[in-house]
């Protein structure tokens, strides 16, 4: 991976686009105090390098019909690479899954899910996790709230 140090302008571009990915290049340039051609070239470079890895809309999960969120900790029975990879792919393909963390520690995965109601959660826990051969045990915690940090660009 080609690593280089990002300067202040780069970091500001990242921060602005983290907070609003639909900023126009013109507006972005104005906020940075640089010419639009400069902002565009910087942004394209960050995309090329993979530093800007994607742009995603944030959807209100409740409005979408899945108001109940949970974190499911999953411990696998054995640690063999095909099992670990298969589990992760399986989890990511479920429509209820929002994100998947592969962790060290007591459990192997932490799966963030959004469901319609408690019965949907129960069914998901049993069918998508407990029933799988590679899963030793799961532990489910409900989510009261989930917030992303706001980027400042001044670290």
Partner DNA sequence: GATGAAACAATAATAGC
Partner DNA sequence: GCTATTATTGTTTCATC
- Of 100 and 135, which CB lies nearer to a second copy in the complex structure? 100
For the chain, the first-to-last Cα distance in angstroms comes to 23
| Number of CB atoms found within 10 A of residue 74's CB | 26
CA atoms within 13 A of residue 24's CA, in its CB half-sphere? 5
90 contact, one of a second copy, DNA, none, CB 5-8 Å limit per kind: none
Tell me which of a second copy, DNA, none is bound by residue 147, counting a contact when its beta carbon lies within the kind-specific cut-off of 5 to 8 angstroms.
a second copy
Q: Cα angle vertex 126, ends 122, 132, to 5°?
A: 160
Q: Please, what sign has the CA dihedral across residues 8, 11, 16, 21?
A: positive
Residue 9 interaction partner, one of DNA, a second copy, none, beta carbon < 5-8 Å per kind: DNA
Lay out the site mask for a second copy across 111-150 (x = CB under 8 A, - = otherwise): -x--------------------------x-xxxxxxxxxx
Residues 6+ apart with CB under 8 A from 72: 110, 111, 113, 125, 129, 138, 139, 140
| Residues within window 11-50 making contact with DNA, judged by CB under 7 A | 24-27, 34-38, 40-42
**Whole-angstrom Cα Rg for the chain:** 20
Site of interaction with DNA (CB under 7 A): 9, 24-27, 34-38, 40-42
Site of interaction with a second copy (CB under 8 A): 1, 3, 5-6, 11, 14, 17-22, 49-60, 62-65, 71, 88, 92, 94-95, 97-106, 110, 112, 139, 141-152, 155
């Amino acid at each position: 991976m080609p690593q280089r140090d990002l300067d202040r302008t780069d970091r500001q571009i990242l921060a602005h686009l983290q907070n609003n990915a639909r900023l126009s290049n013109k507006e972005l340039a104005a906020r940075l105090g640089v010419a639009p051609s400069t902002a565009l070239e910087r942004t394209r470079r960050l995309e090329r390098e993979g530093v800007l890895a994607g742009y995603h809309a944030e959807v209100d999960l409740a409005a979408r019909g899945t108001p109940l969120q949970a974190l499911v900790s999953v411990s696998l029975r054995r640690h063999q690479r095909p099992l670990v990879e298969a589990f992760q792919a399986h989890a990511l393909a479920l429509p209820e899954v929002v994100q998947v963390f592969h962790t060290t520690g007591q459990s192997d995965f932490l799966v963030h899910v959004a469901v319609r109601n408690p019965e949907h959660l129960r069914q998901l826990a049993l069918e998508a996790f407990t029933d799988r051969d590679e899963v030793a045990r799961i532990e489910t915690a409900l989510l009261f709230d989930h917030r992303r940090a706001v980027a400042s660009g001044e670290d």
